Amino acid sequence: MNAIERSKCIIEAILADISRSYSQVGGGGISAIKQNSTTSFTVSISQEERVDLLTYEATIDAKGKVSVKKTGEDTKSH
């Protein structure tokens, strides 16, 4: 799997997790997805007076299956 395919698979897994677990559905939605390292990503979700920052760490097994785990949550005020 090349780097683009790996990032795509990880982002899809992160988006699926956010759909399942993120309950603050008001505001402006996802404003950014930033790759911090090969397997670490931060998702910015705009709210009315803040941005929620969700950090994920991904693992890929030998068969190419992607798993993600939320490793941090933060809030940035405007």
Render pLDDT for 16-51 as a digit per residue (tens, 0 to 9): 999 999 988 778 899 999 999 999 999 999 998 999
Q: How far apart are the first and last CA of the chain?
A: 39
Q: What SS3 class is residue 1?
A: coil
Number of domains making up the chain:
1
pTM here is 0.89
Query: In what helix (H) or strand (E) does residue 21 lie, and over which residues does it extend?
Result: helix 3-21
Find, among 17, 27, 12, 26, the residue nearest to 73 by Cα. 17
Render pLDDT for 53-69 as a digit per residue (tens, 0 to 9): 999 999 998 888 999 99
Mean pLDDT of the chain: 92
CATH classification of the domain holding 33:
3.10.450
CA-to-CA distance for 48 and 53, rounded, in angstroms? 14
Domain extent, residue 28, equals 3-77
